Structure 1
């Protein structure tokens, strides 16, 4: 099965059914299928089979078109997180070496700068009006011109050919591209269709996730079922509520941060949300209190969650609505579980020797199945490290109880999940070490009710200097995406280290907790402007991605 088959099969069955809602426009399955085929033909005129096609836009219908059309052309779609800085975008493009970069006007400056630095990029495409030609450079190719010609039959791509390339983080802190083949993605979709709960009638599903996040695979799940998906340009609580009420959406999936923002928004009680009968969540740990509030606020909704990663093309564990009800009644410990293996997944918890752990004993989560990615792009070392003895090693510490419920205990690598996006601590530390007032720095995550975790920088200053949160965030501004910048800074005389000089992050987290309780940390970060910016930005992509991000990202279920 190929990725494009998902929309093609449904278009053949119900061509006039609605596939997409976007800002008042409704796309039928016939229109979406035709547009994807047109894109595949257009790409064949400017690129070759096997090429990479990068996408740097917010959510639009044409992003969904690219989900299907790029793989149909025999090429791989590179998901580029639009919240990255120009440097970070350039790094991803330099690694993936795309020949075509598709963007939109608001990111055209970044796209032009990145394309100028990456020789492989030969064609720049813009999905909207790029504005007048000027000193910035020549006008890009309009997306409309790329899809102007009617579709023609094309050779079917191989099921094991790369189809999606999504960047996550690795042990070195350098971004890794997870190679997802047609087989990987469609296996994840089939696993979700077989394992997730759904209503008997086709749903109207509200999609608030960034489509550059692995959680976007949920669009394919809905399309295989013949449902309508309402795509938001980006997550905003009011737009979410307005769309839900207008379309009478019946299901949605959210990052815990999104749900927390929704519940705490002063306008929430004004909207009719009674049409919602199913809510999935994922990409980051869900605070039990937020989950309880959500279940109370949406009494007609069945809640479910799961566990997945970018490398898994989606979820492999699912925690059903029945499990949530049981947790609310008499098993509160189940509120923090990520459920049990889905029907097409093999999941284990193993010790350092690769043997299964005993019930409730912590080990590493390992996975096997057709949806496990083909490896990391141009990273044989990272691929060999992650794939051992026929199993994918997630890098997550987990435990399994006697009833078969899995819980994530911690991350083996120092990944921070904030607002559904992952932050790799070493990447932030490398930037902090460039600050003139910093002698040494370490970054950890601190639990937070709204964001899941917040990024905290612990700094050993140079003699006589005391950098503030404002100093650090301003310094990181042009070097890191907003969600990666430390929200809090703790200055200490000396970082805790072991006998060989390694920073002891377990002790560091304890210091951060103690300092926060005592009010000793510098927390002058949550200004009104910062909060407004992060409300719009610090949601999952992405994540379900590195999630589901980049995680090793958690996808949504």
Structure 2
């Protein structure tokens, strides 16, 4: 089952349902299909063929969605790129996938057109001058029919580039089967129903944004497309469009529930909250529950490479829990080994910390990185994907994440897992957010450093240190030896902590 077919089935089922909302514009499934077909026919006339790569630098717009489905129908490969990548990384991605077309908007036009490329792609612009073809021309010169292509389930549907915090972005090819299975899992694991309505604010270049888009099509739901995240606009839109489900990062939820106007709003249509990309604090879980009162509140733990590892629908009862394996998944916890010499058979006992590995036979799993056999060999061993994440399983069989192998702190020969310390400090009433990293030390190898976002500016280093010393869940040697106060934690566009910035000393002084 390929995505182009699935889209067409949804059009047949409910042609008059609203598929996309953006601002004042409302597009039915039938209208969307007409636009998709016209763009698909134009792309074919320009020479786009099955499995050709189309690199896309666009925000979440109706045009982006049309292009996605047009490219799926042709059997080409949709390759969306983070607009915030450096010019060097953008040019690297264009060259890496050997893009036949590059589609971009005004904000990225200069970067794309000034790049040193190994071969000249066709430039398609959205409200951009001096390109080969404009999006408007694609639409206006297209027809309702295009050449139908035989598409196999294992053909590549998309290539997503992982943002990462070090090194070049890595291309993750995902087949039609991968995307179909992942979306079905998402719908099932998040308790979605027919005709859901969601905010399409997570970027489509991210697996979370793409999952929201495809899920709404399969459910004949409504994707409320938002090019930029603005908490005020999102809250108003949630009320006006009767949004029923959200799939966002914890940072986005934080901004929504702490907006000054949220206390005057109610959200009777909102049933389901789902988050991914980073841990969510107990305080934020409580705040979201208080304001949105969801029927379902789910933590989704996964990756670009394998969409689902585990999910937890009991986050209000078990904050910080990643839950049990998804419907297509099997996981193990093995002896941590940064050099990946350990066998997938060397599992740890229940309650012990180990590296989380995931069975590659899952229909949600990629086959390997694009043009990166070295990265593939490093991550995949004997049919298992090594996540680099460390965790343990409790007595009920639920998974908890404690950090990453490369974030583990080595203090005087002892292994310290940052999230063990973070969970304790996060519970302090004067702490809004915290992240713990290791800092080089001549005597100890590394010392524990806590970067703290205060909730109350009366909090002091002495107060936090005394709190950690007396806490029953924290051994004395594990407590931080240094505290740095920040106005906010540095994060990537996916909402993950930008550890490299902290380790590089870019945040070494008190800021408040």
- Regarding TM over 0.5, the answer is yes
> What is the TM-score when the length of structure 1 is the normalising length?
0.73
Q: Does 1:496 pair with 2:449?
A: no
Give the RMSD, CA atoms, in angstroms: 3.3
1:361 to 352, 377, 380: 352
Name the CA shift for 1:245/1:511 in 2 (closer, same or farther; >3 Å).
closer
Residue of structure 2 aligned with 1:510, choices 449, 461, 467: 449
Q: How does 1:516-535 map onto structure 2 within 5 Å?
A: 517=461
1:193 matched residue in structure 2:
187
Which residue in the other structure is 1:236 paired with? Answer: 230
Question: Could you list the per-position Cα deviations for residues 65-99 of structure 1 after superposition, in whole angstroms to 9, with x for gaps in the alignment?
Answer: 23322233222111210112222222222322212
Contact 2:438 2:448 in 1 (8 A): no
2:4 paired residue number: 4
| Counterpart Cα distance in 2 of 1:512 and 1:255 | 20
Q: RCO higher in 1 or 2 (8 Å CA, sep ≥ 6)?
A: 1
Partner of 2:31: 31
Looking at structure 2, the residues matched to 544 and 31 of structure 1 have their Cα atoms a distance apart, in angstroms, of: 37
Whole-Å separation in 1 of the counterparts to 2:387 and 2:282: 24
Q: Which 5+ residue runs of structure 1 have no aligned equivalent? A: 328-333, 416-443, 459-494, 547-557
Q: Which residue of 2 aligns with 1:392?
A: 385
Structure-2 separation of matches of 1:280 and 1:511? 28
Aligned to 2:331: 347
Match of 2:414 in 1: none
Q: What is residue 370 of structure 2 aligned with on the other side?
A: 377
* Cα distance in 2 between the residues matched to 1:540 and 1:9: 34
- Residue 475 of structure 2 corresponds to none
Structure 1 pair 524–308 and aligned structure 2 pair: CA distance change class (3 A): closer
Structure 2: distance between partners of 1:346 and 1:522: 39
The 2-side partners of 1:353 and 1:277 are apart by 43
User: Cα deviation per residue 1:20-46 (whole Å; 9 max; x = unaligned)?
Assistant: 111121111122233333333322233
Correspondence for 1:431: none
Q: Is the 8 A contact 1:253 1:280 kept in 2?
A: yes
Q: Which of 282, 287, 305 is equivalent to 1:293? A: 287
Aligned length: 446
| 1:93 aligned counterpart, secondary structure | helix
Q: Which residue of 1 aligns with 2:455?
A: none
Map 1:392-541; keep pairs closer than 5 Å: 392-414=385-407, 495-496=440-441, 504=445, 507-510=446-449, 517=461, 540-541=493-494
Report how far residue 375 of structure 1 moved: 0.9
SS at match of 1:167: strand
Q: Distance in 2 between matches of 1:294 and 1:247?
A: 19
1:206 equivalent among 152, 176, 199? 199
Q: Is the 8 A contact 2:436 2:449 kept in 1?
A: no
Q: Which residue of 2 aligns with 1:420?
A: none
In the superposition, relative to structure 1, how do residues 72 and 409 fare at CA in structure 2: closer, same or farther (>3 Å)?
A: same
Structure 2 portions without partners, runs of 5+:
336-341, 409-417, 453-459, 465-481, 499-512
Displacement, 1:169?
Answer: 5.5
In the superposition, the TM-score normalised over structure 2's length comes to 0.79
Q: Give the whole-Å Cα distance in 1 for the aligned partners of 2:207 and 2:310.
A: 15
Q: 1:295 to 1:349 in 2, by over 3 A?
A: same
Matched with 1:491 is none
Counterpart for residue 296 of structure 2: 302
Mapped partners of 1:275, 1:171: distance in 2 = 37
Aligned partners of 1:317 and 1:339 also within 8 Å: yes
Shift of 1:198: 2.4
